[in-house]
Amino acid sequence: MAEAEHRILIVDDEAVIRKLLARILDRAGYQIVEAVDGLDAIEKLHQNPALRLVVSDLRMPNCGGLELVRRAINEFRRDFEFILLTGDGDKSDAIGALRLGVREFLDKPVDRADFETAVTQAQERLRERDLESERIRKLELDNVSQSKTLDDITRKLGGAEQEMVDRLSLISQYRDIETAEHCVRVGLYSQLLAEMYGLDTQTQRTIRLAGILHDIGKVGVPDEVLLKEGPLTDSEFEVMKRHTEIGFAMLNSSNNPVLEQAAIIARNHHEKWEGTGYCVGLSGEEIPVIARIVSIADVYDALRSSRRYKPPFSHLEAVDIITRGDGRTAPGMFDPTLLGLFAEHHSRFESIFDGMPDQLV
């Protein structure tokens, strides 16, 4: 176990509880950092960049466990695991914590065996995500995920990729269209889903490249619609929907086979499995599989990303919205086979997102 994996932050306003939990973990070989409330915990996290596993009481003065989780997620570019200790009156707060991505809850008084198991499982989840992030970094080391600007991407790619980056550069000339990182992440998620779905290696590569350009048609949407702060009216939404046809027209003129696939994606990635999408209203397997794949990838990244009309959702919130629905998004929108693959392997999507955050380009 690496040194960083030995360190655990215990947060509780009762000294006797802190000492009890620390004693259990000390015997298991962990290094313990203690905090008396959420404010103290935030300070300890600033002082100890290696701390990623936090065991916290839910109810504390000054700053409770729920606020601690929220602040830690917002203030630190760090992958956390939280174990929250709950009492009988904490169930509503526990639901709020679930929405923030907390996976482990233990009732007080804490059972030693349950506590040790929860810590072991949390450490294993951190380790698995680290391995997946490292795998993604290695795969993309000489590719777009390590590029800091579009110029860097251009220098590294050639052929079909070069032509796509030229078109992606066109998008960057228009303000407030989704970042280059969003576009590239959608390509990476799509490649991952294509692999899981059993598509051949060449198709996996093609969908990664073609998926980058899924929203290129937004360059043709007027600023008063594209940049609107609030919700769109029905007539404005009809204008926004045209980006699928605009993107198809832009890409379909190329003889490049990758761009031909990108044109299909641009036109069809807003079609829905149950037939209520646009621009044609296709349903089921009428929708090209590459567009069905990009549809899930695009929705996941859009949920995770900050937009002028919404804050970013946590990974587990995004998974819950896609797999269970929220009134706007529903599981019936997606190919059920692809949805099942996403639900089973969603942590791999999280690793891609965390490994390639948005940057200014």
Q: Which residues pair with 35 in a beta bridge?
A: 11
Q: Which of 19, 218, 228, 272 is catalytic?
A: 218
Contact status, residue 342 vs residue 322, Cβ threshold 8 Å: yes
Is residue 82 within a helix (H) or strand (E), and if so which, with residue range?
strand 81-86
| CA gap 73, 102 in Å, rounded | 11
* Nearest alpha-carbon partner for 69 in 43, 41, 89: 41
| CA gap 344, 89 in Å, rounded | 32
For 158, counting Cβ atoms within 10 Å of its Cβ (0-12 exposed, 13-18 middle, 19+ buried), the class is exposed
- The 10 Å CB-count burial string (b at 16+, else e) for 46-84 is eeeeebbbbbbbbbbeebbbbbbbbbbbeeeeeebbbbb
- The answer to whether residue 138 is catalytic is no
Contact status, residue 45 vs residue 72, Cβ threshold 8 Å: yes
Distances (CA, A) of 134 to 3, 116, 266: 18, 27, 31
- Catalytic residue set: 218
